[in-house]
Amino acid sequence: MLGKRPVLSMLAEVNTASERSHNLILIGFMGTGKTTVGKRVARSLGFRFVDTDALIVKKAGKSIPKIFEDDGETEFRALETKVLRECAGKTGQVISTGGGIVTIDENRPLLKEAGYVIWLKAEAEVIYERVRRNRERPLLHTANPEETIKKLLDSRVSLYKECADFTIATDNLTMEETCFGVTECARLALEPT
Ligand code: S3P
């Protein structure tokens, strides 16, 4: 309950996204809840839910770790841009994106054109606790995943900032509070006044 007050006060800052496509896009590092939040928010808004990672897996016909293993990160990123371009051509969607989507120069203007962009932010320590038991993220298959998270996060923060219309720090929010904040932001930003 306590978390709701900061979320509500943040809503005063929401700008509308009238000239852009009618989509809500969630960006942020691995483990920030983009997929879980995206699914719930899509239901609340009556939007379609799409997840760029899931679309990549469908296109490639194999899992993300297998794409990285067989074809390398470059091929994964090429598929990611292709999928993002396809999503950007449609409307009425909540689009959850992979954590590294902002690292490709071409993707950042595409994200902004695609709709209203919310950055789900979290500190490295919180991210590590959330992802440590999951083996689906090849970039974290390193000797010291916590250190890898810190380095990757440092290198990406400015890129998330560049793309985001709005930022929500999720560290101390429950999933329900984050969903509430995202849904209300999206309503203010995307619905006609
Ligand atoms: C990646 C994040 C993953 C997935 C891939 C690469 C990244 O998505 O796209 O493993 O570079 O941060 P999530 O952010 O949904 O875990």
Residue 57 forms part of a structural domain? yes
pLDDT value, residue 191: 78
Ligand 1 atom at minimum distance from 34 CA:
15
Q: Which atom of ligand 1 is nearest to the CA of 53?
A: 9
Which residue's alpha carbon is at the smallest distance from atom 10 of ligand 1? Answer: 137
Residue 15 in domain: no
Determine the Cα–Cα distance for residues 117 and 27; give it in Å rounded to an integer: 7
Pocket residue to mutate for ligand 1, from 56, 69, 137, most atoms within 8 A of Cβ: 137
- What single DSSP character describes residue 138? G
For residue 14, being part of any structural domain is answered with no
Question: Is 99 close to ligand 1, i.e. is its CB under 6 Å away?
Answer: yes
Number of domains in the chain: 1
Is 192 inside any structural domain?
no
Verify whether ligand 1 is closer than 6 Å to residue 53 (CB atom).
Answer: yes
Q: Which pLDDT score, from 0 to 100, does residue 193 have?
A: 54
Helix axes of 124-131 and 145-163: crossing angle, nearest 10 degrees: 120
**Domain membership of residue 83 as a residue range:** 20-187
Binding site membership of 33 for ligand 1 (Cβ less than 6 Å): no
What residues does 182 pair with on adjacent strands? Answer: none
Of 124, 165, 163, whose CA–CA distance to 145 is shortest?
Answer: 124
For a mutational test of ligand 1's pocket, the pick from 27, 29, 30, 63, i.e. the residue with the most ligand atoms closer than 8 A to its C-beta, is 30
CATH of the domain at 70: 3.40.50.300
Whether residue 39 lies inside any domain: the answer is yes
For residues 104 and 78, give the distance between their C-alpha atoms in angstroms, rounded to a whole number: 9
Of 139, 148, 157, which is best to mutate to test ligand 1, by the most ligand atoms within 8 angstroms of its C-beta?
A: 139
**Residue nearest ligand 1's atom 4 by CA:** 98
Closest CA to 15 of 165, 192, 179: 165
pLDDT score for 11:
63
Query: Over its length of 193 residues, how does the chain's per-residue pLDDT go in tens digits?
Result: 445 555 666 665 666 555 567 999 999 999 999 999 999 999 999 999 999 999 999 999 999 999 999 999 999 999 999 999 999 999 999 999 999 999 999 999 999 999 999 999 999 999 999 999 998 999 999 999 999 999 999 999 999 999 999 999 999 999 999 999 999 999 999 876 5
* 30 within 8 A of 131, measured Cβ to Cβ: yes
What is the DSSP-derived secondary structure letter of residue 153?
A: H
Whether residue 56 is contained in a domain is answered as yes
Residue 104 lies in a domain: yes
193 within a domain of the structure (yes/no): no
Shortest CA distance to 165 belongs to which of 106, 104, 120?
Answer: 120
DSSP run (H or E) holding 80: helix 64-88
The type of residue at 148 is T
